[in-house]
Amino acid sequence: MRSPSEVVFFDDTIPALQMLQRIFKLFIVTNQQGIAEGKLTPEEVDGVHEFILGRLAQFGIQIEQVYCCPHRRADGCECIKPNLFFLQEAERAHGIDLRGSFVFGDHPHDVEFARKAGATGIYLLTGHGVKHCAELQADVPIAANLWEAASAAVKGCDIRKRPEELGDEITQAAAILRQGGVVAFPTETVYGLGANAFDAGAVARVFEIKQRPRFDPLIVHVADQAHAESVVSSFPEKAKALAQRFWPGPLTLVLPKSDYVPGIVTAGLSSVAVRMPDHPKALALIREAGIPLAAPSANPFGRISPTRADHVRKHLGEQVDMVIDGGPCQWGIESTVISLAGEEPALLRLGALPMDEVTRVMGREMRLNTNAAHPSAPGQLPQHYAPRTPLVLRKDAHWRPNEERVGLLCFRSPHASEGFAAVEVLSPTGDLREAAANLFAMLHRLDAMNLDSIVTEYVPDKGLGLAINDRIRRAIMSGVGAETERNYPG
Ligand code: TXA
Ligand code: MG
């Protein structure tokens, strides 16, 4: 190629390289025999390379180095592919682990080059097509395009150094995720049901297991800021300020989505929800898997969220490939969801974040859109978090429905608990944090007792109490109008 005007990028080049560079360092290794043959000048070749690097840089893609052999094969130079010269150079100068590396190329030399270095070569059909396929060994992976090759590398890579504290459990779970499996994992809010966010098939399984309607998008969980930026197309300043203050933590940001997050993750929306969970096992898992995890809460759709590994095992059990036990969740209530994808910032879900801190960072107060007919987030249906047992609001401190076996879920120690078959107290001392952490676990416990109904009450409507009351309200709504409830999935 003589001039930049001849360079053509495939549609998938940019997203594939963006995905790859989250995990890999990127290099170009090229043989340009035309230089030795006098058909091209070194300046022309440099000009093309500069153009390509500049274009990729516009998309945040950094190529560590372009290695170019200008000789003829007959010259017997050391640097022509498939000789290892440049790979060894990269190993030495950039600390590359060749055994964990990949070479993508459209010529059998590239695959041979990889094999000799102990790396994995993937043959691409985008260049010479099937022309050279017959020259390949039978076990050489062949990809239709760069995206397919990049996905395979990201799913199959096993190159990141394992932190010392990482147990076998995390390694095993990460391998399951890379192979398209589904793993339930702990976060500081509730347990999540995770799959590789780049693997539409794996994400489809999450929807099936949860019996979640496809119009309800998932949160993409990441382990660092760079990871987060790889799934969005822009990261506005306000979002950065929130992320800086609250990540890792119970903040979910809805931002414009990058093209290569599959539509199934975002239910076809042009925005994507991203969050960096604050749990050592969740972070270790995402890092070890090397991919962002699309994960909803690990409960059947519409039901109570899980705050213990046992809740997941009981309700989703066999369908999940693995459940990582991280003990009881610290917050017990989901993340706060804030959208910065629209014209105005919007609070889509109340959650574990302190809203006065959010107000301080945002420089303005944000209120939840409580219009039930038009939920602000697709998943914010008025009915949610439902126990199977009808949940009703306590009319006054002495009220009890006229039924045999009634449970009571109250905020502080109850004034009148006589006659109830079971009593759960969210926080005897009136601590809202303790109440949030106990809410779902206590609902799960009461729901397992075959009661006729459960009576509950609101907690003080301030701080975390706002999010707790939101959950209680939705759980009660689920029991209002038997028809609505019966038709409700999950
Ligand atoms: O704390 C949490 O956020 C937990 C843990 C596992 O991270 N996850 C969780 O996920 O609660 P899920 O799927 O149960 O709730 C995600 C909420 C839903 O209300 C969904 O509709 C909303 O986030 N959401 C996701 N993507 C969105 C988008 N692009 N635009 C608007 N809302 C979105
Ligand atoms: Mg949920």
pLDDT digits (tens, 9 = 90+) for 189-201: 999 999 999 889 9
CA–centroid distance, 294 to ligand 1, in Å, is 10
* Residue 62 clears pLDDT 50, i.e. is over it: yes
Rank 150-154, 167-171, 349-353 by mean pLDDT and report only the highest. 349-353
Residue 267 Cα to ligand 2 middle (Å): 15
pLDDT for the residue numbered 128: 75
Instruction: Give the pLDDT band of residue 96 (cuts 50, 70, 90).
Output: very high
Residue 374 has pLDDT above 80, yes or no: no
Phi, psi dihedral angles at 82 (to 5 degrees): -90, 25
Point out the least confidently predicted range of 237-241, 411-415, 422-426. 411-415
What is the rounded distance in angstroms from the CA atom of residue 304 to the CA atom of residue 283? Answer: 24
Q: What is the pLDDT of residue 197?
A: 93
pLDDT at residue 418, as a whole number: 87
- CA-proximal residue: ligand 1, atom 10 (nearest): 296
Q: Around Cβ 264, how many Cβ atoms within 10 Å?
A: 20
Tell whether the model's pLDDT for residue 129 goes beyond 90. no
The whole-number average pLDDT for the span 386-407 is: 90
Other CB atoms within a 10 A radius of the CB of residue 81 amount to 23
Q: Which of 308-322, 338-352, 359-373, 403-417 has the lowest mean pLDDT?
A: 359-373
Q: Tell me how far the alpha carbon of residue 224 lies from the centroid of ligand 1, in angstroms.
A: 19
Mean pLDDT along residues 303-315:
95
**Predicted pLDDT of residue 425:** 96
Residue 376's pLDDT is what?
A: 61
Average pLDDT over residues 206-222: 92
**Which ligand has its closest atom nearest to the C-alpha of 386?**
2
Q: Give residue 319's Cα distance to chain centre.
A: 20
CB 331 within 8 A of CB 195: no
The atom of ligand 1 lying closest to the CA of 334 is: 1
242 three-class SS: helix
Looking at all shown ligands, the one closest to residue 282's CA atom is 1
Q: How confident is the model at residue 60 (pLDDT cuts 50, 70, 90)?
A: confident
* Residues lying with their CB under 5 A of ligand 2, a single-atom ion: 297
- Ligand 2 centroid–CA 395 distance in Å is 28
**Closest listed residue to residue 107, CA positions, set 133, 85, 79:** 133
Instruction: Please name the amino acid found at residue 3.
Output: S
pLDDT value for 373: 54
Residues within a 6 A CB radius of ligand 1: 187, 189-190, 192, 216-219, 250, 252, 254, 266, 269, 271-273, 275, 277, 295-297, 334-335, 337, 348-349, 377-380
**pLDDT: which is higher, 321 or 396:** 321
Q: What pLDDT score was predicted for residue 356? A: 92
Average pLDDT of the chain is: 88
Q: Which helix (H) or strand (E) holds 108?
A: helix 108-116
Whether 237 contacts 253, CB under 8 Å: no
CB 71 within 8 A of CB 36: yes
- Greater confidence (104 vs 490) lies with 104
Q: What is the pLDDT of residue 164?
A: 46
pLDDT at position 163, please?
42
CB 488 within 8 A of CB 208: no
Q: What percent of the chain has pLDDT over 90?
A: 65
Determine the pLDDT at residue 375.
56
- If you take atom 18 of ligand 1, which residue's CA is the nearest one? 379
